[in-house]
Amino acid sequence: MSPAHAAGAPLLALAGAGVRFGRLQALAGVDLQVHAGERIALIGANGSGKSTLLRVLHGLQPLSAGKLACAAPHRQAMLFQRPYLLRASTQTNVALGLWLRGHAWREARARALTALARVGLEALAHQNGRTLSGGQQQRVALARVWALQAQLLLLDEPTSSLDPHAKREVEALIAQLADPGAVQTGAAQAGTAPVTTVFSSHNLGQVKRLATRVLYLEQGRVLADLPVHDFFNGPLPQAARLFVKGETL
Amino acid sequence: MNTLYPSFLTALELVAGLDPALWSIVRRSLAVSATACALSFGAGLALGAWLGVARFRGRGVVLVLLNTLLALPSVVVGLLVYLLLSRSGPLGWLGWLFSFQAMVLAQAVLVLPVVTALTRQTVEDAERAYGEQLQSLGAGRLLRSLLLAWDTRLALFTVLVAAFGRAISEVGAVMIVGGNVDGFTRVMTTAIALETSKGDLPLALALGMVLLAVVLALHGSVALLQRWAVRRDAAAGAAALTLATGAAA
């Protein structure tokens, strides 16, 4: 099953993608096109291939089979479940991402401050990133990818290790990034272009709130690929239906 | 048994009385080992950090050899350096045999595998945990090795201290290439061996006490540094939470 996609060339296209780790088939025969403006949720049990698929899309995991095509030139970034911040100030941590992409260090530090303000952490610009709470660290990581002005953002369970309060804060920031027009929280969002997102999550409520399209994976295969409304209201393969109901086969 | 107590008292008097012969040996020992560690730390840190992130054919063999060198007997190092520096050896033209430089070279060769292997392990652990995130930001292998080495600097300081401990406490290599010449190449360990064989136990005991005190001071300073870092991080974390709570309110 696959949804009707927006017209135009996809940002990324996977065809027959497969990844094998020794005897383990982590991904098998995955076809996926990511179009600009989409917010795609990857759901499935642990070990179903969500993280592997995200790593493939970001070029961190080579394919054993199939191919990944970047049809339209774009900037992309990835956010991890547990962000890695250097034992340095949050400003340096954000600036590092820019510097690694070719910006001058002085300019990178100035832009880092703007990015930190965007996630409400400008007061902690000089704080050692390693000493922040989990939620604050994830917000710094969001500032880092926001500063890169990525058009495609890949998020691997970005809120799963956070407490409920931090989870709400980070989810709100992701929502702002993904669809700034829908969330009016201040002048900072004015004129900001929406960011195409592909994220994995075990939180079905979050999927309903953030996604426009849902992929259900099981044992490395995509068993359902539907618009979010159809996924939660229409017919589903049995495995996906049981997963949504919180049961297993 | 009957000589232990008076020898110990005399040794204490030598240490407390700042005996010139004793302290000249101590100064020379510290200078040789510190210079050797500075040289091997520079090279070992770079090599170990690179090995921590590099992947190439034959890497496993290199690591096995490197770990084998950890158990290299100091007399074997002394013998090899002696052969290198002897008049008919490839480095004989330097005229370093039985000199300060020869002892530095021997100790540097001895601790280089220690620094390299421990740095490699530290950086490789960090690479396994966080390398992918740095890679996703655009950092290549060389840059990752530098960033991860810098980020694990507290752990690498422990490596430096361990290397210094190995250097200052070895006797075989400096005995062979230094010759234990009084006033020139006599260091704490070679002096202890000599004075014990001569029956001058007070001086040997005094040198032993200083040697232990040096090593104890080094490891104590590492423990204090780590404790300070943990406390500083905890305090900074609490401050960040307070700041964030205040900002939210």
Distance between CA atoms of residues B138 and A84, nearest Å: 14
**Residue whose pair of structure tokens reads 């991402």 in the numeric block:** A97
Nearest CA in chain A to B138: A100
- In this prediction, residue A182 carries a pLDDT of 64
CA distance readout (Å), A198 to A76, A207, B78, B145, B150:
11, 11, 60, 29, 32
Q: Which two tokens stand for residue A146?
A: 């926001």
Residues A213 and A227 in one domain: yes
> Hey, is the C-beta of B81 within 8 angstroms of any chain A C-beta?
no
> Hey, is the C-beta of B137 within 8 angstroms of any chain A C-beta?
yes
CA distance readout (Å), A132 to A90, A93, B237, B241, B244:
9, 12, 5, 8, 10
- In this prediction, residue A4 carries a pLDDT of 46
Residues A46 and A107 in one domain: no
CB–CB of A197/A155 below 8 Å?
yes
Q: What is the pLDDT of residues B168-191, one digit of tens each?
A: 999 999 999 999 999 999 999 999
Strand, helix or coil for residue A155: strand
Complex-level ipTM beyond the 0.90 threshold: no
- In this prediction, residue A244 carries a pLDDT of 87
**Residue whose pair of structure tokens reads 């383990």 in the numeric block:** A24
Q: Tell me the pLDDT of chain B averaged across its residues.
A: 92
Chain A interface, best mutation among B128, B133, B143, by max A CB count within 10 A: B133
Residue A128 has its nearest CB partner, among B139, B236, B241, at: B236
Q: Which two tokens stand for residue A39?
A: 């917010």
Residues A21 and A32 in one domain: yes
> Hey, is the C-beta of B140 within 8 angstroms of any chain A C-beta?
no
> Hey, is the C-beta of A124 within 8 angstroms of any chain B C-beta?
yes
Q: Which two tokens stand for residue A71?
A: 């049809």
DSSP A193: P
Give the length of chain B.
249
> Hey, is the C-beta of A9 within 8 angstroms of any chain B C-beta?
no
Domain count of the fold of chain A:
2
Q: What is the pLDDT of residues B47-72, one digit of tens each?
A: 999 999 999 999 999 999 999 999 99
Q: What is the pLDDT of residues B198-237, one digit of tens each?
A: 988 899 999 999 999 999 999 999 899 889 988 888 888 7
Residue pairs spanning A and B at CB distance below 8 A: 62
Chain B residues whose beta carbon lies within 8 Å of the beta carbon of residue A87? 151, 153
Residues A164 and A217 in one domain: no
- In this prediction, residue B208 carries a pLDDT of 94
Distance between CA atoms of residues A240 and B122, nearest Å: 42
Residues A103 and A38 in one domain: no
Phi, psi of A123 (to 5 degrees): -70, -20
CB–CB of A126/A158 below 8 Å?
no
**B238 vs B203, higher pLDDT:** B203
> Hey, is the C-beta of A170 within 8 angstroms of any chain B C-beta?
no
pTM, rounded to two decimals: 0.84
For residue B114, give the H/E element and its range. Answer: helix B100-126
CATH level 3 topology of B4-224: MetI-like fold (1.10.3720)
Q: Which two tokens stand for residue A85?
A: 């911040």
Is pLDDT at B134 greater than 50 in this prediction? Answer: yes
Give the strands of the sheet with A12-21, arranged side by side.
Answer: A24-34, A12-21, A65-69
- In this prediction, residue A191 carries a pLDDT of 46
Residues A159 and A190 in one domain: yes
Is pLDDT at B243 greater than 80 in this prediction? Answer: no
- In this prediction, residue A247 carries a pLDDT of 59
- In this prediction, residue B100 carries a pLDDT of 97
CATH of the domain at A224: 3.40.50.300
Residues A95 and A186 in one domain: yes
Those of residues 178-217 in A touching chain B at CB distance below 8 A are none
Nearest CA in chain B to A96: B137
Q: Which two tokens stand for residue A76?
A: 């992309």
Instruction: Please indicate whether, in this complex, the C-beta atoms of B239 and A127 are within 8 angstroms of each other.
Output: yes
> Hey, is the C-beta of B226 within 8 angstroms of any chain A C-beta?
no
CA distance readout (Å), B176 to A192, B27, B49, B95, B173:
72, 20, 32, 15, 5
Residue B132 has its nearest CB partner, among A60, A96, A144, at: A60
Q: What is the pLDDT of residues B1-12, one digit of tens each?
A: 457 888 888 888
pLDDT in tens, chain A (249 residues): 445 455 578 899 999 999 999 999 999 999 999 999 999 999 999 999 999 999 999 999 999 999 999 877 788 999 999 999 999 999 999 999 999 999 999 999 999 999 999 999 999 999 999 999 999 999 999 999 999 999 999 999 999 888 888 889 899 999 988 877 665 554 444 446 789 999 999 999 999 999 999 999 999 999 999 999 999 998 888 888 888 888 555
Instruction: Please indicate whether, in this complex, the C-beta atoms of A127 and B134 are within 8 angstroms of each other.
Output: no
Any idea which of A90-99, B31-40, B162-171, B236-245 has the lowest mean pLDDT?
B236-245
Helices (H), A148-196: 164-178
**Smallest Cα distance from A236 to chain B, Å:** 34
Domain limits at A31?
1-74+198-249
